[in-house]
Amino acid sequence: MARWAPDAALRLERAAMELFTENGYAATTVPAIAERAGLTTRTFFRHFADKRDVLFLREREFPSVVAHLLTDAPAGLGTIDLLMHGLDGAASGDLERWRDDIAARRAIIRSEPQLRERELLKSAGLADAMRDALVSNGTPAPDAALAASAASALFDLALETWLAGPPGVTLTSILHDHRLRLTRLLAPSA
């Protein structure tokens, strides 16, 4: 038997979600989270940069996954189609199964501006990763930055729409639809 129970980060995340749901984010202290997970405060901060970060454990690898999909994508796609392909591929793994978890996290995140702030930073990190992948694939830097920012915004709004809508509608279809609507909105009005 190992000296320490495995998955310390996951146990901390589960404990945090429970306490946040029971008492709210602000009323939950880090020592309380650590205690429920059977660890100490110091160990919490070894796994998470700060208290907010515990809500984003699942998304840590998302930017690099998307970036890899972008660099390995089939040639010939336009910039935006490439981005849609990458986001789609990274988020496609039986998303419906996680709907409740995502909704629970989102409910907590929307309860505190601090947490929305962190979510925005994560989205910006995704946009940065996509921009860099585009640039190293030959896209001009200004175009890459513009397209990556737009794609990140599209993804966030699509995810929100997906969560608010009925089960069964795929994120892929919503993303596609949002992209088309934004295209029409941006086009010079007659």
Partner DNA sequence: CACCTGATGTCACATCGTGTCATCGGCTAC
Partner DNA sequence: GTAGCCGATGACACGATGTGACATCAGGTG
167's CB contacts (< 8 A; 6+ apart) are: 96, 99
Residue 135 touches a copy of itself, criterion: CB under 8 A: no
3: partner contacted, choices a copy of itself, DNA, none (Cβ within 5-8 A by kind): DNA
Backbone angles phi, psi at 72, to 5 degrees: -95, 10
Retrieve residue 70's tokens: 């972008």
Residue 166 touches a copy of itself, criterion: CB under 8 A: no
Q: How far is 53 from 45, CA to CA, in rounded Å?
A: 10
Which residues within the stretch 12-51 sit at the binding site for DNA (CB under 7 A)? 28-31, 38-43, 45-47, 49-51
Q: Which is nearer to DNA, 113 or 142 (CB)?
A: 113
79: partner contacted, choices a copy of itself, DNA, none (Cβ within 5-8 A by kind): a copy of itself
Q: Is the dihedral of CA 16, 124, 155, 132 positive or negative?
A: negative
Angle, helix 62-71 to helix 79-91, in steps of 10 degrees: 130
Q: With CB under 8 A as the contact rule, which of the stretches 29-37, 64-72, 103-111, 180-188 interacts with a copy of itself?
A: 180-188
The binding site for DNA (CB under 7 A) comprises: 1-4, 8, 28-31, 38-43, 45-47, 49-52
